[in-house]
Amino acid sequence: MESSNTGLIVQALTHAIVEHRLLPGAKLAEQKLADHFRVSRTLVRQALYQLSQKRLITLEPARGAFVASPSADEARQVFSVRRMLELEMTRAFVREASDADIDALREHVAREQAAVKGDDVEGRTELLSHFHVRMAELLGNQVLAEVLRDLLARCAIATLMYQSSHAAHHSSDEHAELVACFAERNVARAVKLMKEHLDHVEQGLNLDRPVPTHDLGTALAAA
């Protein structure tokens, strides 16, 4: 039961980060979390440790737990790893996915587009992110799906910190184009489209922009 409770806390906090409801640098107070989930601080501590292992939060001695604030270089590295994994996953998907798998992905895109049109920010964010995980799930590769979940959560933090206000790359439209290409079983074009899609997402991040700080002294030093 304890491990189940810990898993629920990990899942809830991960979703809050991915859906942009928790900002980078936000403090995660153990007692507040324990009260919210109605569990002991020991279970909360275990959940925070698991999240720190996934690099979604940082644990600082004598200060506590905070939502991670990845550097620009780390954000670039995350996208580099995503390309390595997802371009190969795209090759495998085009070759191995059944027509039913492609239909399932097409249905997922339909839900994305409904969320976009309905201005459902949280639903849209989660669905756009899960598209890539869904491909791994449909391939039956749960290990890959778990790795992508962690990477996409870290991407969500980078998006909050570095996304340009004017950036708009129409990810759902690009997902729809990818699915249409999968249905044509065109491996080379599908890989090209996936690379372009990931490039567009990364290009939407202004990684040279100074990152806002939560420290008052640091913030005022430049004034």
The CATH number that applies at residue 27 is 1.10.10.10
Asked if residue 181 is part of any domain, the answer here is yes
Please give the pLDDT value at position 74.
87
Residue 198 and residue 145 share a domain:
yes
SS3 of 58, please? strand
What are residue 94's DSSP bridge partners?
none
Confidence band of 163 (pLDDT split at 50, 70, 90) = low
Q: Are 18 and 153 a contacting pair, CB within 8 Å?
A: yes
Distance CA 174, CA 185 (A): 17
Task: Give start and end residues of each alpha helix (H) in 118-170.
Answer: 121-138, 142-162
Tokens 């995503």 -> residue: 82
SS3 of 205, please? strand
Asked if residue 11 is part of any domain, the answer here is yes
Asked if residue 210 is part of any domain, the answer here is no
Domain boundary among the residues 67, 87, 109 is at: 67
Residue 85 and residue 53 share a domain:
no
Closest CA relative to residue 3, chosen from 36, 52, 46: 46
Please give the pLDDT value at position 90.
98
Confidence band of 207 (pLDDT split at 50, 70, 90) = confident
Confidence band of 109 (pLDDT split at 50, 70, 90) = very high
- pTM score of the predicted model: 0.73
Ranges of beta strands (E only) in 62-204 are 64-67
Residue 151 and residue 45 share a domain:
no
Please give the pLDDT value at position 29.
93
Tokens 């900002």 -> residue: 23
Residue 146 and residue 92 share a domain:
yes
Residue 19 and residue 119 share a domain:
no
Q: Is the pLDDT of residue 164 over 80?
A: no
For the record, the structure tokens of 173 come out as 């439209």
Domain that holds residue 42: 2-67
42-78 per-position pLDDT tens digit = 999 999 999 998 888 999 998 999 998 888 888 899 9
Q: Is the pLDDT of residue 122 over 60?
A: yes
Distance CA 79, CA 173 (A): 20
Higher pLDDT, 195 or 157: 195
For the record, the structure tokens of 181 come out as 């290409």
**Residue 175 CA to chain centroid, in angstroms?**
16
How many domains does the chain contain in total? 2
Confidence band of 141 (pLDDT split at 50, 70, 90) = very high
Range with lowest mean pLDDT among 6-10, 125-129, 166-170, 197-201: 166-170
Residue 33 and residue 14 share a domain:
yes
Asked if residue 144 is part of any domain, the answer here is yes
Q: Is the pLDDT of residue 133 over 90?
A: yes
Please give the pLDDT value at position 222.
43
Residue 63 and residue 80 share a domain:
no
Please give the pLDDT value at position 223.
41
Residue 89 and residue 51 share a domain:
no
Q: Are 179 and 109 a contacting pair, CB within 8 Å?
A: yes
